[in-house]
Amino acid sequence: MSYDVVILGLGYVGLPLAQQAIRAGMSVLGFDVDETVVKSLAAGRSHVDDLSDADVAEMLAGGFRATADETEIATARTAVICVPTPLSEGDGPDLRAVTGATGSVGRNLRAGMLVVLESTTYPGTTDDVVRPLLERLSGLTAGIDFHLAFSPERIDPGNAEYGAHNTPKVVGGYTTACTEAAAGFYGRFIETVVRARGTREAETAKLLENTYRHVNIALVNEMARFCHELDIDLWDVINAASTKPFGFQAFYPGPGVGGHCIPIDPNYLSHNVRSKLGYPFRFVELAQEINATMPAYVARRAQNLLNADGQAVRGATVLLLGITYKPNIADQRESPAAPLARQLAALGATVSYHDPHVGTWDIGGVPVSRTEDLEGAVASADLVILVQNHREYDADHLARLAKRFFDTRGVTTGREAHRL
């Protein structure tokens, strides 16, 4: 059997993309090196927040099939790479998943195929890393024998308004013909396709999007620190500034940044600037420093709240509410809850958590105690810290129950809570 597309990497990006292609009537093959994922999908079980088991069942009924056999890639007309791009131990780009997936495609590449990289990465990856590997393994030439393009993923987990089908899709090809081939492919199941000048422009566009958020979050995080010292209500400041109908976009402070994009992608950009140009991207690196130190700042504020009442943090019971990086999802990647818990534990606190979306949680392999009785745990803890405001939480009610309530999300309205 031949397929319209094979999607490599069946995670939070690849699986929703496959779903939209299936719904558009395309034949879709999924490839993942994790056989557990392949077997789970074959059994109709979803492992990502945005797709239910019923969604997977719908995909299977539409002809979707997952495999761990890379030779089946040769049966598809288009290959889309949607694998993770984390940071290395030295906080530089880790492209092992990208080169691994590219190798799988290259060994099975046929003339006339379209290959698209969606994984977020530094400018030049498609041309300088992916293309040579594909050409060497296949003996084919990009732009002549096969099409090659980059199209940044824009998945926003938990967003009910914008999904894969109605979020504009940027595409940039190795050649103009490659761009048009990619635009034609995505145009079959995505409402709006935006053509970039080339692969590097498309790669940089994604980094700009996330770096823009990163530096603006850092701005309000630093403002949160000095506003607290000056006894200024930053949340009221932001609400007032937001009434300006032009020239201002609201960003909000928090206990740190998390997820698959904001803590990671700006590092790809600053690393690229340093390695290729020899000087730092100071704005980005300063933002990274500010955001990365927010969990430690929250821990110090927590310690001060306890000390103000004559209680030491050592031996105190601290309950964290919401440990995911976004509200109303189960994804904990790069969540600031983890470094916050480590900081509190290092100060001697006994840390527990409640999260309706997370059944078990460990920090560096050490399990963190989970409470089932939300109101009872809130009432008994020496300090409650709202880290993520899930829809299940009535923050004002919980603040009234607590001995001390530290709201890092600015959602409480009464005087019972201390806000970031």
Bridging pattern class, strands 366-367 and 362-363: antiparallel
Cα–chain-centroid distance for residue 164? 15
Residue 166 burial (CB < 10 Å; 0-12/13-18/19+)? exposed
The partner residues of 5 in beta bridges, in order of sequence, read 28, 78
Q: Is 18 exposed, middle or buried (0-12, 13-18, 19+ CB in 10 A)?
A: buried
Work out the burial of residue 31: count CB atoms within 10 Å of its CB; fewer than 13 is exposed, 13-18 middle, 19 or more buried: buried
CATH number of 3-198: 3.40.50.720
Contacts of residue 273, Cβ cutoff 8 Å, sequence gap at least 6? 279, 280, 281
Q: Determine the CATH number of domain 293-420.
A: 3.40.50.720
pLDDT at 92: 79
> Which residues have a Cβ under 8 Å from the Cβ of 151 and sit 6 or more positions away?
80, 116, 117, 118, 169, 170, 171, 172, 182, 186, 202
Question: Along the chain (420 residues), what's the average pLDDT of each consecutive run of 10 residues?
Answer: 96 96 98 97 94 96 97 98 88 91 98 98 96 98 99 90 94 99 98 98 95 95 97 97 97 92 80 83 91 97 97 97 94 94 97 97 93 97 98 97 97 93
At 110 the pLDDT is 98
Q: What is the full DSSP assignment across 58-118?
A: HHHHTT-EEES-GGGGGGEEEEEE-----B-TTSSB--HHHHHHHHHHHTT--TT-EEEE-
User: Is 3-198's fold the same as 293-420's?
Assistant: yes
pLDDT of residue 350: 97
Can you give the residue ranges of every domain in the chain?
A: 3-198, 293-420
Give every CB contact of residue 265 below 8 A, 6+ residues apart in sequence: 120, 206, 207, 210, 211, 214
Catalytic residue, chosen from 82, 178, 227, 261, is: 261
Annotation marks residue 178 as catalytic: no
